[in-house]
Structure 1
Amino acid sequence: MARGEELYITVPSMFRCPISLDVMKSPVSLSTGVTYDRSSIQQWLDSGHDTCPATNQPLLSKDYVPNLTLHRLINTWSHSSAASSSMHPLPPEITSGEIRQLVSGISRRPDAAGVDELEKIVRFASYCEENRRFIANLHDSIEVILRILIRDNERVEFLESAVRLLDLILLENGVRERIQRLIFKSDHEKCFDSFLSILKNGKLSSKVQSTRILELIASTNDSRQRTIGEKIEATLPVLVHLMRTETDKHLMEAILSCLISLSTSRSIKVQLVHLKLVPILSRILSDPETASPTAERAIKTLHLLSTVAEGRTAIAEDSGCAVAVLDKLMKVQRKAKEEGVALLWSMCCGHGDARVRERVGKENGVTKMLVVMQSEGDDRIVRRMCGDLVKVLRGIAMAESSSSYGQGGLGSLETKTTHIKPY
């Protein structure tokens, strides 16, 4: 085959992670028996999920074990000449000792680092878990990457390589804490400019990686977050714009997780409302094709926005928002269900918005609240909120039933649901 000619190999489906759809580098199996790439499933679990993404089964344990058999099969396949040419990283042509010297040299002269040097480190880290752990444990590795990100006038491709390297080692022990500690040094605040450049002009995968790193930075405590408040707020318009214009589910989930971490202050929530985030979330929830993880994050974000008056006004003014939340209640996990009920309770009972009451009531809200009550078992807080909602929505349901079907319609409804006790 001529040099530079590309090979296109069909990847066995069992080698692909069900979440990222990429060839798994470190396959691990959950208690349900489904195997995922370790970095993908760890991010899923870190986001608060307690189910298997592929089967939606509740997890008895969040522990996972390496799937060594599948790992050997993937390695055998990836080292074949055709597969390793196109679908899996080639073995790095550099030793760990040379990587150590390279990182040390960049640490001494960060402005002299070039694309070639950085790509060598990225290829080394991409190859296997052991390599990523080696780089993460190097004393100056995180500082070196951040120093590259604060250099002026870098091409977006170079910045993408730095972010990819940071994302590759993000889950290694101690890396998150080191990034958080370093990012709050005044000179490292310039990293935000690089993240913005990637979010505006980078590749899709780089946008996801940058968003994950932004979420990490945002997840620190409030007192430290305030020191970079202006930098964080500058990312909000770009993130919301991406939600408005992009459709990739991985990017949507990453952005929503990031916005949830950012929404710790009233000013951030108000700014997100002013950026018209509520109609975007309403559209996402109204789409029947929206995946459950995305819907759950959208509900949580709406719940956070409903804690400020501006957010409640925007939710009330969007004719489909509350109804979309109502329709998703039985299709999401328990935590999102609780947040959705709390949002509806806040709008219909706590603040008594007549517009939202009418919309939810006309969409069979009484029956749906009764079903949620039944599914929540002993959760008294959720059951009480559902009971309050049933009370305020019942009048609307009766009026709607009488005008559309006569009194018999509501009588039939109540006959089917009287066994569910509000409290």
Structure 2
Amino acid sequence: MAGRFSYSLRGSQISELGWFVLRLLVPSRSRMDHSSLVGVRTLWSSKVFDMDQSLRNKSYPGNSKTKKGPDMEPEVPSVFRCPISMELMENPVIISTGVTYDRRSIEKWFFNYKKTTCPTTMQTLSSFDLIPNHTLHSLILSWRSQRRPALSTPQSLELTSIISAMESSPFKVSSLKKLRSFVPHNHAIFISCGGVGALHRILTADASDFTAFRACEEALGVLNSIPFETDSASMDLLSEPGSVKTVLTVLQRGGSEARLHAITILRKISRAKPSVADELHQCADVFKSLLDLLCDEVSGKLSSSSLDLLLDAVARSKTNRLKAIEAGAVRVLIELLPEAGRHRGERTLLLLKRLCECAEGRSAFADHGLGIAAVASRMVRECNEETKLGVKVLWFVCSFLPTKKVVEDMMSCGALRKLLGLIHADGTSSAKEKALMMVRMHGEAWRQSPCFPVELRAVQY
């Protein structure tokens, strides 16, 4: 029994188990200095790797040392191996010390083992952010593609079987659900085996019936779980008009989860190819759908993602801004602003500012009875990001559309008091300069109002 157990363990599992036991036995630097600890680990991993190779050769008669040909397992470059598991990295990420690990392994180190140090340097970490190492990931994908015949792993064989079954069957949803559970930890194999191409064929097929549409929803779920944006060939496929059209259709008609996946995928595509976001206006009612999702009180994540996609869409395209304004974006943003948190408030004000750069946006803002009050409620005496954005919105309206109602609302809704507080605050900033210009622009009208602060009537601006 013990013999069978030892043969059933992979070398990487033995290495990880041994390293974990070593860390339990030597929990602090006081027992062993860092260089010694790393040296022990390096030696341990090397010995385990040699042992694993020996066990494989003994366990499987076909794996002789003299075996040649395309089925021989290639030697993985050390830089492609995770320092923890010693396996080829599927999803390389960088931690704050600058060391790259496989995401699955380092997340286990942090969250399962509750460690607060870098496994390699043993430095105590103040941040546990994981930054994707796109450069290394691209190199690994390139290396795998060049050696694809030699990488006939059980995972790749299983994946090929699932994809073949999916493409040969008119009922693809069950196969796609299998892919969704399989792909997150094997996405490099999925991409190298042409999986994105198979999903692309589903997305560009006729999705007019319910079964085909459900297959499109599931296909987006698979895509959402892989970093396809790191592979240029995959990005080219998914940015084609046929693919984008289907993603937009799911965004408008799909379930909540599928809509979230659609938005996430659109944002990934538009970051690499901004023209995709610039041309959203070509899809009828897409902005109305995004605004409906923005108001969704059930799913905060879906609402937040909709706001992010709207920001991407109006960043460069004036046509998109006009379409968003026509769909009622200014009204929706004004009504959501008072209840928004700080981060959400900043993004809402940024979107409102971009819309108010258009005459149509300023007109919609001025016509709304609560516009100035909503913006003023986000401003404070300190010149933080919300205050800066709020001043810019008020500046656009007061400078280019200073109707009598706008000037009166600035006084009655407390916006003027916020501007005066900003002017008298310490320091200099463009927001402070704009506030001063607005006061000079409409100061005479405001001084005549009984609501103007008495202590400031004699102050010259």
Pair in the same fold by TM > 0.5: yes
Please name the residue that 1:91 is paired with: none
The code of the aligned residue for 1:161 comes to E
| 1:348–1:265 CA distance, 2 compared to 1 (3 A) | same
Alignment of 1:39-58 (within 5 A): none
Aligned with 1:163 (options 220, 233, 257): 220
| 1:210–1:368 CA distance, 2 compared to 1 (3 A) | same
Cα contact 1:110–1:144 (8 A) shared by 2: no
Cα contact 1:180–1:216 (8 A) shared by 2: no
Structure 2: stretches of 5+ with no match in the other structure: 1-93, 98-105, 115-152
Please name the residue that 1:253 is paired with: 304
Question: How far apart are 1:255 and its partner, in Å?
Answer: 0.8
TM-score scaled by length of structure 1:
0.63
Cα contact 2:288–2:327 (8 A) shared by 1: yes
Please name the residue that 2:407 is paired with: 357
Aligned with 2:432 (options 383, 386, 407): 383
Aligned with 1:318 (options 361, 365, 368): 368
Give SS of 2:379's match.
helix
Structure 1: stretches of 5+ with no match in the other structure: 1-61, 75-93
The code of the aligned residue for 1:144 comes to A
Please name the residue that 1:114 is paired with: 172
The code of the aligned residue for 1:200 comes to R
Q: How many residues are paired up?
A: 319
Question: How far apart are 1:314 and its partner, in Å?
Answer: 0.4
Please name the residue that 1:276 is paired with: 328
Distance in 2 (alpha carbons) for counterparts of 1:233 and 1:217: 20
Please name the residue that 1:267 is paired with: 319
Aligned with 2:237 (options 170, 182, 186): 182
| 1:255–1:385 CA distance, 2 compared to 1 (3 A) | same
Please name the residue that 2:90 is paired with: none
The code of the aligned residue for 1:196 comes to T
Distance in 1 (alpha carbons) for counterparts of 2:422 and 2:294: 30
Residues 1:101 and 2:150 are matched in the alignment: no
The code of the aligned residue for 2:454 comes to G
The code of the aligned residue for 1:279 comes to R
Question: How far apart are 1:121 and its partner, in Å?
Answer: 1.4
Aligned with 1:209 (options 261, 268, 283): 261
| 1:364–1:266 CA distance, 2 compared to 1 (3 A) | same
Cα contact 1:282–1:324 (8 A) shared by 2: yes
Distance in 2 (alpha carbons) for counterparts of 1:266 and 1:191: 20
Structure showing greater radius of gyration is 2
Question: How far apart are 1:333 and its partner, in Å?
Answer: 9.3
The code of the aligned residue for 2:321 comes to K
Distance in 1 (alpha carbons) for counterparts of 2:273 and 2:199: 23
Question: How far apart are 1:207 and its partner, in Å?
Answer: 1.8
TM-score scaled by length of structure 2:
0.59
Question: How far apart are 1:233 and its partner, in Å?
Answer: 5.0
Cα contact 1:361–1:396 (8 A) shared by 2: no
| 1:68–1:245 CA distance, 2 compared to 1 (3 A) | closer
Please name the residue that 2:393 is paired with: 343
Question: How far apart are 1:141 and its partner, in Å?
Answer: 2.9
| 1:120–1:222 CA distance, 2 compared to 1 (3 A) | closer
| 1:359–1:106 CA distance, 2 compared to 1 (3 A) | farther
Distance in 2 (alpha carbons) for counterparts of 1:376 and 1:149: 57
Question: How far apart are 1:270 and its partner, in Å?
Answer: 1.4
The code of the aligned residue for 1:183 comes to L
Question: How far apart are 1:104 and its partner, in Å?
Answer: 6.0
Cα contact 1:306–1:312 (8 A) shared by 2: yes
Question: How far apart are 1:354 and its partner, in Å?
Answer: 3.4
Cα contact 1:349–1:388 (8 A) shared by 2: no
Give SS of 2:453's match.
helix
Q: Which has the higher contact order (CA 8 A, sep 6+)?
A: 1
The code of the aligned residue for 1:192 comes to K
Alignment of 1:145-156 (within 5 A): 145-153=199-207, 154-156=211-213
Question: How far apart are 1:281 and its partner, in Å?
Answer: 0.7
Aligned with 2:181 (options 123, 136, 144): 123
Question: How far apart are 1:284 and its partner, in Å?
Answer: 0.2
Distance in 1 (alpha carbons) for counterparts of 2:218 and 2:382: 36
